[in-house]
Amino acid sequence: MAITGETVARRLTTVRKLLVLTGAGVSKESGIPTFRGEEGLWRQYRAEELATPQAFARNPKLVWEWYRWRQGIIKNAQPNQAHLAIAQLEIHIQNFLLVTQNVDNIHYRAGSRKLVELHGNIFRAKCNRCDKKYLEPLTGELPECACGGRLRPDVVWFGETLNPDDLDRAFGFARECDMALVIGTSGVVQPAATIPFLAKQTGAWVVEINPTPTALTGSADIVISQPCAEVLPEILSLMQNFSEAADDAQANRD
């Protein structure tokens, strides 16, 4: 593996507080389409045209149809090596937080528990009148709440605010961490896109893993331009080797 991966692995053996921020690219190798670029299109629509309260008010059937289509893909997908490696990092590094923009629940399925889902979860719904939460599967093309209100996916659409507790937790951790791994996000959607810059401003070492350059690329301390499901398992195994070597050296001194 390239020298950059080794450098990241060495840093991970001494990290005090690690933040991992993920986006759609982390689930790409599980077969789940990302949002932007050609492959982000669903029929002729772009995500920005469907993931809004206005789109839901105008055509709730169309929006539900898009979410049902995505739910189907996600249900049949499996966690990939990147999800699994991130779950392992949580086990090895005590002071850890995973902040994901993904709504696919796959980090959880891979074992991650110290997890903030900034944009919600596609397998939950909520009432647009009384805010009651429901778990999928729901019946009917246009599911309704017991109160008569309309149910909608429990995700954060453009123009809507994020859960303030989740955002505080993510921003607070970003300000305190000494290393941030930013994986598979184009970094165009706010406020999530601010997180790596907050970490950087307060002195953290920022690593980007993304085959395509983003607005963060120029500011990151290390950029690994490869698919994350290839790179992360290698970094994890190098990190474990370095830790074991350090433990052995310590044991020899004792």
Please give the positions annotated as active site: 119
58 vs 132, beta carbon nearer Zn ion? 132
Find the angle CA(149)-CA(153)-CA(155) to the nearest 5 degrees.
125
- Gap between the Cα atoms of 88 and 86, Å rounded: 5
x/- letters, 158..187, toward ligand BJW (CB under 6 A): xxxx---------------------xxxx-
Residues in contact with 195: Cβ distance below 8 Å, sequence separation at least 6, in sequence order: 19, 21, 99, 170, 171, 174, 180, 182
Please choose, out of 140-148, 150-158, 199-207, 236-244, the segment that lies near ligand BJW by the rule CB under 6 A. Answer: 150-158
The interface with Zn ion within residues 107-166 (CB under 5 A) comprises 127, 129-130, 132, 145, 147, 149
DSSP string, 84-106: HHHHHHHHH-SSEEEEE---S-H
- Six-digit token string for 196: 């790596």
x/- letters, 43..82, toward Zn ion (CB under 5 A): ----------------------------------------
Q: Which of 188, 215, 245, 246 binds ligand BJW (CB under 6 A)?
A: 188
The interface with ligand BJW within residues 82-121 (CB under 6 A) comprises 101, 103, 119
Core vs surface per residue 108-126: b (16+ CB within 10 A) or e: bebebebbbbbbbbbbbbb
Count of residues interacting with ligand BJW (CB under 6 A): 36
Residues in contact with 194: Cβ distance below 8 Å, sequence separation at least 6, in sequence order: 171
- Six-digit token string for 249: 């050296």
Q: Which of 180, 207, 209, 238 binds ligand BJW (CB under 6 A)?
A: 209
Q: Which residues bind ligand BJW (CB under 6 A)?
A: 23-25, 28-29, 34-36, 40, 47, 51, 101, 103, 119, 155-161, 183-186, 188-191, 209-212, 214, 227-228
